[in-house]
A = this chain, B = another copy of it.
Amino acid sequence: MYDKLIDHIHQNTPGPGIDKQIIAEYFTPKCYGKKEHFLKQGYICRLAGFVIEGCSRNYMLSTEGKEVNIGFNFENWWIGDVCSFVNQTPSLVNTQFLENTTLLTITAKNHLDLLNKSQYFREYTNKLRSKATLASVQNLSGLSESAKTRYRVLLEKYPKIQQRVSQKHIASFLQITPEALCRLRKSEIS
């Protein structure tokens, strides 16, 4: 299990890598059930997690209380609201598991310790976070495309998403209604 994280770090950051022993010391495995929340708006994000198996969605609430999906987290990616985690302030983001999920979790304190201790881990963290930021900016500008284009881009990025995520949640991420997604898919096939 630890190897998955170690590999991910090493694949993303050239350098010495990180000892399994250190990972085992700083990270704790945790299991969550489908539909369970990892983080709720208003609470402080006290843990960050690396997805070993399973998936989740991140969503925010609109002014009328409607849930708007802003992203999905599959294997080999991090979950947790960076802003809340770093500043230890209440989160605006919700994270809910869409499958039974296994994480390697780390506390804010441990994460800070590891950052201060290892320049290599700092580099990895900076890279990862900057990529996550780029992704959300790309999604932002991507919303200027038609729903059909956004759907195609999503399928390119996550070819198997249809097998794992309901249309309802995909539609919410595309910022269209489930009805619109349904029609869009029909027209796409033909």
Residues of chain A whose beta carbon lies under 8 Å from any beta carbon of chain B: 59-60, 62-63, 66, 68, 70, 81-83, 85-87, 92-93, 115-116, 119, 122, 126-127, 129-134, 136-141, 143-145, 149, 175
Instruction: Check A70/B140 contact, CB under 8 A, given A63-B149, A145-B62, A145-B63.
Output: yes
- Residues of chain B with a CB closer than 8 A to A145's CB: 62-63
A89, B107: Cα distance in complex, Å: 31
Nearest B residue to A131, CB-CB: B83
Contact of A127 among B63, B86, B141 (CB under 8 A): B86
Whether the Cβ atoms of B141 and A143 lie closer than 8 Å is no
- Residues of chain B with a CB closer than 8 A to A140's CB: 70, 136, 139-140, 143
- Residues of chain B with a CB closer than 8 A to A62's CB: 141, 144-145
Of A62, A93, A140, most B-chain CB atoms within 10 Å: A140
Whether the Cβ atoms of B130 and A132 lie closer than 8 Å is no
Contact of A126 among B86, B127, B141 (CB under 8 A): B86
Contact of A116 among B87, B119, B130, B136 (CB under 8 A): B119
Whether the Cβ atoms of A132 and B133 lie closer than 8 Å is yes
Whether the Cβ atoms of B133 and A83 lie closer than 8 Å is yes
- Residues of chain B with a CB closer than 8 A to A87's CB: 127, 130-131
Whether the Cβ atoms of A141 and B82 lie closer than 8 Å is no
- Residues of chain B with a CB closer than 8 A to A92's CB: 134, 138
